[in-house]
Amino acid sequence: MVNSDYLKNLNEAQKEAVTHLNGPLLIVAGAGSGKTRVLTSRIAHIIAEKKAYPNQILAVTFTNKAAKEMQNRVINILGPTASGLSWLGTFHSICAKLLRKHASAVNLNSNFTIIDTDDQLRLIKNICKAENIDVKQLAPRYILSIIDKWKNKGHYPDEVKINYKDIYEKTILPVYKIYQKKLVDLNTCDFGDLILHTVKILEKNLDIREIYSKNFKYILVDEYQDTNYIQSRWLNLLAQKYKNLCCVGDDDQSIYSWRGAEIKNFLEFDQTYENTKIIRLEQNYRSTQNILSVASNLIANNQNRLGKTLKASIDEGDLIKLNCYKNGKDEAIGISDEIERKKKQTSLNDMAILVRAIFQTREFEERFLKIGLPYRIIGGTKFYERAEIKDCVAYLRLVYQDKDDLAFERIINNPKRSIGDSSLKLIHEFAKENSSSLEFSARKMVEKNLIKPKTKLGLTLFLDSLLKWRKDFKVKKNNHVKLLQIILDESGYSAMLKNKKDLDNENRLENIKELLSAMKEFDNLESFLEHVSLATSIDQDWDGQKVNMMTMHAAKGLEFNTVFLPGWEEGLFPHQKSIEEKGQKGLEEERRLAYVGITRAKRNALISFSMNRFYQGDWIDSMASRFIDELPEDYLEKNSFFDEDQVDLDEFEFNQDFDTDNNDKVRSPGWIRYQKRIK
C-alpha cells in the first residue's frame, strides 16, 4: 500500500522533479536541498502512477550507506511493495549481479569471486617478482592505480594507448596484460572489472543490451557529478531504449577528479541527451542564509558550472567569522577557545574542523591534548598513530635507548635491508636464550657469523648506523630535530618515500615535515618522546562527545552545527600542487572544495588563516588565500587583526612564536624583523 502523502511535504521544484516522468532529467541539487527525498519520492511516484513495476526501476548510488538509506525511505513510502526493487544498489553491486548472469561472455564462470585490495596487491607483487620489476621504485599500489585508471577509461590491456610522457606506463602495461589474464585464469575479478566487463558485454552483445534497456524503463542515479567515464558509459547503454534517465547531483560539489570523476558528464548531460529537462533544487534546508550567501558568492567565480541560487528555509543567522592569526599555534588556540565557548550551548559532536590536508590536524591535536579537549579523526588516523610518524619515533627511541626492543623490531627492515621474518625470529630466539636485548643479540650474532651473508651485510650497516647516530646525538651534540633529519637521510627512509612511485608518499612526506615542525617545540629528545608516549596512550574512543576533525574531502555529505575552516592560505588552500598540475581546472576544483567545506555548516562557519606558519620545518610568511578575497564583505565578521587603527603592521608582524616564556625558542620572521629594527 503506497503512502499517498509523499508529495505533500515537497516544495514546487522538488514536486516537479518527482512528477516529471518523460524523457531525460537532470536535477541540479544544491547542498542541503533534499535530493534523497526527491529520489525516493520519484521512485514511489513511478510505481504509484503505474509507469513501471518495481523491478523495472534501476536506482544507483555510490555507497552501500546511501543505498540502504534510499531503500529504507522507499519502504516507508511503499511498504511491502518496496521489496520488488531488486535493482536498487551501488554501481558495483548491480554490475556484479548482471555479470553473474552473463559471465561466460567474458570467459568467466558465474561463480566467480571478487578480490579485495590486499589480494590485488599480492598478485601484482608476484607478477613484478616474476618480471624482475623493482617494487622499491614502482610500488604495487601505484601500479594498481594506473590499471584502475585504464579500467575507468574503459580499456582492456590491448586497448590502452600509452602516454609516453609517463615513464612508468610502458612498464605497467605488460603487468596489466599478465594481471588481467591471471584474473580470468583464477575465475575472479577486481572491482574495476565489475563495471568494465559489464560495459563490454553490453557493447558487444546487442541481444543482451536490448534485454536490459527494455527492462529498465526508469533509471535514477545519485551523485552523478562523481561518475567516471565507464560508469557514465554503462548508464548510457542501459538508457538507450526509453531514455528515462534521471541524474541527480551538484556540479559545485564535484571534488573527486583525482579518483577519476569527470565533471563533464554532468555539465554536458543535456548535450548527450536531447530534450533534457533541467530542474534546480535551490531551497536549502540545512544552513542559514548568511552561510549560503558566502558559499554562493565564492563558487560564482567558477566558469564551468550550470549555476543556481541557494535560498535558506531558516533565518539569516550569524555572520561568517573571518579570523586572522599571528601563527598556526595561535590559530589552534583561537579555535579551541571558540570551541570551549560554544560547547556550553551545543554538543562537541556537532562541531567540526575541516582541513585541506591531513597533516594540518597535528597543530590542533597538540592543542586539544594539552587542554584535555576530546576529539576524533574521521576518515584518517591520529597524527602520532600514522605509520610514517611511528617509524620516525621508533628510530629516535632506539637511538635514545638501545634496549627498546619494540622500536628495534619496527625499523630493523624499514626500509628494506634483506632482514626477513626468519632472520628476526633467530634474533628473538638468541635474545631469549641469553636474556639480552634484540640489538645486543643482533650484534653478537653478527660477530659469531650466525646470520646469512646477505642478511649480515644489511644488519651490519644498520647496527653501525645506530652507533653513528648515537655519537651524533651524544658526542657531537646534534639536537633532536637535526638527529631525525640525519637518520631519515642516512637510513634511506627519505629516499624510499621520494623515489618510490606511490600515491600516498606525498602525504607521508608532508606528515614527516610536520613532525619536524612539532619537534622544534620541545627542548630535548627526552621531552619530545615523553610527549609522544602520552599522546599515543589516549585511545581513539568514538563514544561520548568529541570534536570532529577531517579533511574537506572526507566531509562531503556530512553536516555540523559549527564548522571551522583553518589554513586558508595560498599554497595550502588552494593547494599549490593542484594548480600546478591542472591549471584553471585545478583551481576551480579547489574552489568547489571550499564551497563543500562552507556548506557543511548549519548555523556557524568560521574561516581563518595565519600570517606566519611553521610549515614543514621552516617559518614561512603566509599570504591569505585568494578565496578570502572572493568572500562578500557584507556577510563577514572580522577579528581585530583586520582593524588597522587597533594594530599597526609592525605590531602585527611581532609574532612571538611557540612559547613566549622561553626566549631560547626559534623565532618567527616577524620577531626577527622586529629585532633588527630596534637594534
DSSP assignment, residue 384? Answer: G
Backbone CA torsion sign across 599, 600, 602, 608:
negative
Among 304, 255, 266, residue whose Cα is nearest residue 593: 255
Active site positions, annotated: 35-36, 222-223, 253, 600
- Yes or no: say if 364 and 385 are a contact pair by the CB < 8 Å rule: no
On the 0-12 / 13-18 / 19+ scale of CB atoms within 10 A, 673 is middle
Q: Which three cell numbers stand for residue 345?
A: 550551548
CB within 8 A of 474, min separation 6: which ones?
none
Question: How is 307-375 classified by DSSP, letter by letter?
Answer: ----EESS---SPEEEEEEEEHHHHHHHHHHHHHHHTTTS-GGGEEEEESSGGGHHHHHHHHHHHT--E
Which cell numbers in the block locate residue 38?
A: 526527491
Which residue in this structure is represented by grid cell 638527529?
483
Give Dmax (Cα) for the chain.
87
Q: What DSSP letter does each residue of 269-285 carry, written as one string?
A: HHHHSTT-EEEEE-EES
Which residue in 89, 51, 545, 582 sits closest to 340, CA to CA?
545
Note whether 529 and 396 are within 8 A (CB): yes
Angle at 267 between CA 263 and CA 269, to 5 degrees: 110
